[in-house]
Structure 1
Amino acid sequence: MQNGKTVLPVRWLPPECLSSGKFTIQSDMWSFGMTLFELFSYGDVPFGDLSNNEVLTAVMSGMKPQLPSSFPEPINNLISQCWRNAPEERITASEALSRLQIIQ
């Protein structure tokens, strides 16, 4: 997707970035959740079956990638906390780091 002349990675962006183009630490946590999704799915692309326009519509309507049951439960929980709809309810980077250290 293009915002002006900037190409945006729609599959990794939360709804507020897609609608306003503003990026925050909270939006970074959403993207971090997408990165964890990729890592634990061995490289699956979020919303792999959808076009960029379909992803935009899906994310704006509240859709998130399905978390496979093969993911460890602590990782599913962490990803879910990264993907909370309200940015202020998302896990912080320091909380995520603490959780990852415990998972080891």
Structure 2
Amino acid sequence: MITHGETPAAEETPAEWHDKIIHSSLNLGGRRIMGADMSGDCYTKPQGVQVHLEYSDVSQAERVFNRLAEGGNVFMPFAETFWAHRFGMVTDRFGTQWMISNEIEGCN
């Protein structure tokens, strides 16, 4: 992640935006998700979408779930279900909804 304040354009950026993210990148098994904070009238609250991440390692899935839950809202605890070894749903502190799962052995 890079904040606006960490870029060469920091001097031209309002001080209240120095801690906002201008570029972030997350590599997920060779697939990249990129994002940034949006300013003013460009911002819309996320709604109607959930991002699903599936992990083969239960401890990694649980770590990701717990990190996303920090400052957020868990609406389905990370636990065993009939469709996944472990599954949980959380809204992170920024309002993005996530579904995190750990596969059922032998089903993939």
Answer yes or no: same fold by TM over 0.5: no
Whichever structure has more helix as a proportion of its residues is 1
Quick check: which one's strand share is greater? 2
Query: Scaled by the length of structure 1, what TM-score is found?
Result: 0.31
Higher relative contact order (CA 8 A, sep 6+): 1
Kindly name which structure, 1 or 2, has the bigger radius of gyration based on alpha carbons: 2
TM-score w.r.t. the length of structure 2 is 0.30
